Structure 1
Amino acid sequence: MIDQSTGIRGAGLGLRRNFIESVAADPPGSVDFYEVAPENWMRMGGRNGRLFRSLTERLPFVCHGLTLSLGGPTPLDEPFLTELREFLELHSISLYSEHLSYCSDQGHLYDLLPIPFTAEAVGYVAERIRRVQDILERRIAIENVSYYAAPGREMEEIDFLNAVLVEADCDLLLDVNNVYVNSVNHGYDPVNFLLALPPQRIVYAHMAGHYVQAPDFLVDTHGAPVIDPVWRLLGTAYQAFGIFPTLLERDFNIPPLAELLDEVAAIRNLQQRTAEPALRLCHG
């Protein structure tokens, strides 16, 4: 088991307003932790705000940001980061992650755009990540993102990602679906990509579904169930690195909570199946 002292373990679920009341009334025992985008909750009042506070008082949470634009050309929003630090402290949330991408340029672009895979960009984004960590007074995790073009590429995606992790001295939120989507769209071996990652930096993982536009063109939508090749890739990661906390994301076409819990249970079952041989060896 990879232990990064994040306070989370097991199988998690992205909390959505569609089912917050059901979770608050009877938290599913199969969910070990929840994730929210802080931008959606930092200024939330009323009933949903109270429900959210009641949950963070009882259950482990992590935060996954949407708007920080780590690779963007405009200055970091430091007042937002100060407000975010207060939000994390209020709700006793130790772990914050963001996308290794950019999404603003004198205005929000409403998409996650790829940072050029260059040495100059490594230095630029790493400096911004270090500044974020200084303001938040904690390490953060960056997520490998899906991308559909690589303008200005001077290095491979895996080399760019690893260089940022080292220079920024931050952690990794491993999005397994994004590895698979990118491997299909850009023609690389997803297992080789996984095995080149630094396991000591993985704090948790995302699992999600995608849309098949064509056999060689997948779109990361978080709007469908996880498919078998992505489950197999997660199993490969567990076998290579040990079991780490893993969370199910679903942002569109959200089904009834029971269906989401079935996928959370599949994460837990995979974790248990992977752990059993290791336990037998330990007690053999």
Structure 2
Amino acid sequence: MFEPRELGSGLGYRAELAEMIDQHADRIDWLEVITEHFLFAPADRRERLRALATRFPIVPHGVEMSIGSDREVDGVYLEALAALVAEIDAPWFSDHLCFTRTDQVALGVLVPLPRTRQAARRLGRRAQRVQDAVGAPFLLENITYYVDLAGPLSEAQFIAEVMENCECHLLLDLTNLDINARNHDFDPLEFLGTIPVERVAQVHLAGGEDNDDGEPSLDTHGEPVPPRVWELLAELVGRTTVRATLVERDRNFPDDPYELLAEIDRARTLLAGSV
């Protein structure tokens, strides 16, 4: 089994944050980039990525692998991903436990999967093939879902079954966990007790939109990390060794860079207590 190394506390790279990242590089341990922004990118963009990789460990985080589709992952995509991972010496790569396309249609959203043992086993075996093809650790991320597809397995049971059928690791998005728990009325601590937390290599931390009027809470990546998510991180690092945390902000970028830097510092402090 590939073993992801410890990276520390990082930040999701966005063009709007490039200047802040450059000016405060000493406060950021590593960066995560969106895979598809660079996978088939022009030479100048790949050159900028290689330059970043001389200063930070960089992890490609995908949104279009669609590992949950009925078909196998596209071979051209996998070859390009393997080349990208090798080019920047990425410590691992990641994508989502979902599907985003059919044979004919790119959906443009992360769609939840039917939670059956058969689907979980199929997905786990496919994830293993992807990891073997790319030649680096592959992390699978839990998504936010707003329609709960009825099935014999809970989300946590489904994830545990996937992990039983591969040697991959988990990217646990604690914001997604918090939002799903509130929207679908389950206990996030019970979720942590069901998944194999020892396979969690990385954590995502972000802010969302809370709704208390009967509407679902939303995963917006546009607000500070809320107290509930920090509490979940403290709970998680009390249960297992977490190798990396990542603060995500996709919109509503703060004028004061210290808002994000403080979140990176707080995550680093919590990581220091990881068992």
TM-score by length of 2: 0.91
Contact 2:200 2:242 in 1 (8 A): no
Deviations 1:177-224 (A, max 9, x none): 111111101111111211222132111111011112335621112111
C-alpha displacement at 1:22, in angstroms? 4.1
Aligned to 1:120: 118
- Following the alignment from structure 1 to structure 2, what is the Cα–Cα distance between the partners of residues 243 and 118? 28
Matched, 1:61 2:58: yes
Counterpart of 2:28 in structure 1 is 31
Q: Is 1:8–1:60's contact at 8 Å kept on the other side of the alignment?
A: no
Counterpart of 2:203 (choices 185, 202, 205) is 205
* Matched position secondary structure for 1:89: helix
Query: In the alignment, which residue of structure 2 is the partner of 1:263?
Result: 263
Corresponding position of 1:254:
253
Which stretch of structure 1 is more off in the superposition, 240-249 or 97-106?
240-249
Q: For the Cα contact (< 8 Å) 1:173–1:204, is it kept in 2?
A: yes
Instruction: Look up the SS of the partner of 1:125 in the other structure.
Output: helix
**Counterpart of 2:232?**
233
SS in 2 for 1:221: coil
Contact 2:211 2:217 in 1 (8 A): yes
The structural deviation recorded for 1:33 is: 0.8
Tell me how far apart the structure 2 counterparts of residues 68 and 103 of structure 1 sit (CA, whole Å): 8
For structure 1, list consecutive stretches of 5 or more residues without a partner in the other structure. Answer: 279-284
Unaligned runs of 5+ in 2: none
Are the counterparts in 2 of residues 173 and 205 from structure 1 also a CA contact under 8 Å?
Answer: yes
CA contact (8 A) 2:114 2:151 kept: yes
- Residue 211 of structure 2 aligns to a residue whose secondary structure is strand
Residues 85 and 148 of structure 1: is their aligned pair in 2 closer, same or farther, counting only changes over 3 Å? same
- The separation in 1 between residues aligned to 2:6 and 2:241, in whole angstroms, is 15
Q: Which residue of 2 aligns with 1:161?
A: 159
1:30 is matched by which residue type in structure 2? R
2:18 maps to 20
State the Cα RMSD in Å.
2.0
Distance 1:244 1:261 in 2: 19
Aligned residue identity for 2:265: A
The number of residue pairs the alignment matches comes to: 271
Structure 2 equivalent of residue 185 of structure 1: 183
Q: Does 1:77 align with 2:74?
A: yes
* TM-score of the two chains, using structure 1 as the length reference: 0.88
- Aligned partners of 1:215 and 1:237: how far apart in 2? 30
Please state how far the C-alpha of 1:270 moved relative to its aligned partner. 2.7
Residue deviations 1:71-96, cap 9 Å, x none? Answer: 11344211111011001101111201
Please report how far the alpha carbon of residue 152 of structure 1 lies from its aligned counterpart in structure 2 after TM superposition: 4.2
Residue by residue, what CA displacement relative to the aligned partner does 1:105-148 show, whole Å, maximum 9, x if unpaired?
A: 12211110100111221122123212212221233110111112
Question: What do the CA deviations read for 1:160-192 (whole angstroms, capped 9, x no partner)?
Answer: 010001112211111111111111011111112
Aligned to 1:224: 223
User: Aligned to 2:31, what secondary structure does the other structure show?
Assistant: strand
Stretch deviating more after TM superposition (31-40 or 189-198): 189-198
